[in-house]
């Protein structure tokens, strides 16, 4: 989204200039539309007759399934962020042992001996090195920004244009906290994120 709608004055502040804490915000916020009944109904349709929509009861069950294993998924994200930081700060003489030890400690699941799961964690050798935490941090921003669409309507054109101009267009040329405050009319908080996990109101 930053690439398509960004309009920073200098190329340096395009996609590559967006701070790691904010880079995943647009994609994570867009995921929210796929969990709203009216949007799913709009997108659904039988392949032979697009007027035949998924029943409301089916849509509701699909949406309820969003929280299935959400706790395990969040623990996984915390674990990956933690092992990433460990590797890039303290380091580890044996990365596999460190991975398996921390996996058990954070998730509570048993380790699987004689495996090297750290070899499949590609983020640690990419532009996300020491930045995996940004997935969780961006999710907090994304859920908070989405509250404005919940209030004004998921397909509200004015809100969409304001989001485009305030959040996407500047790319990395503005401080994310300032952009979020301008868009929401308040400081960002984690309340919407907690609700997305089934915690709180």
Find the Cα–Cα–Cα–Cα dihedral 28, 14, 183, 40, rounded to 10°: -30
Per-residue confidence (pLDDT) for residue 151, from 0 to 100? 98
Name 52's Cβ contacts closer than 8 Å, sequence gap at least 6: 45, 46
Q: What is the pTM of this model?
A: 0.89
Per-residue confidence (pLDDT) for residue 88, from 0 to 100? 92
- Average confidence (pLDDT) over 98-122: 94
Per-residue confidence (pLDDT) for residue 39, from 0 to 100? 94
The pLDDT tens digits of the residues spanning 5-32 come to: 666 666 666 667 788 889 999 999 999 9
For the record, the structure tokens of 156 come out as: 């509200």
CA 11 to chain centre: 25
Q: How far apart are CA 111 and CA 102, in angstroms?
A: 9
Per-residue confidence (pLDDT) for residue 25, from 0 to 100? 96
CATH fit for domain 7-12+22-32+69-201, picks 1.10.3470.10, 3.40.50.720, 3.40.190.150, 1.10.1370.10? 1.10.1370.10
Assess contact for 85 and 130: CB atoms under 8 A: yes
pLDDT beyond 70 at 4: no
């Amino acid at each position: 989204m930053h690439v398509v709608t960004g309009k920073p004055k200098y190329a340096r502040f395009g996609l590559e200039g967006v701070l790691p804490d904010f880079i995943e915000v647009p994609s994570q916020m867009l995921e929210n539309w796929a969990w709203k009944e009216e949007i799913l109904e709009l997108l659904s349709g039988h392949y032979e007759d697009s007027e035949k929509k998924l029943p409301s009861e089916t849509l509701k069950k699909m949406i309820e399934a969003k929280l299935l294993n959400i706790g395990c998924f969040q623990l996984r994200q915390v674990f990956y962020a933690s092992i990433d930081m460990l590797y890039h700060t303290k380091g580890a003489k044996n990365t596999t042992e460190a991975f398996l030890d921390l996996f058990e400690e954070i998730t509570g699941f048993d380790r699987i001996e004689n495996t090297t799961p750290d070899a499949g964690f590609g983020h640690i050798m990419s532009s996300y090195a020491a930045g995996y935490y940004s997935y969780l941090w961006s999710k907090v921003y994304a859920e908070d920004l989405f509250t404005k669409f919940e209030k004004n309507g998921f397909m509200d054109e004015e809100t969409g244009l304001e989001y485009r101009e305030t959040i996407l267009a500047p790319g990395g040329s503005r401080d994310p906290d300032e952009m979020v405050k301008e868009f929401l009319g308040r400081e960002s908080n984690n309340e919407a994120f907690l609700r997305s996990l089934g915690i709180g109101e």
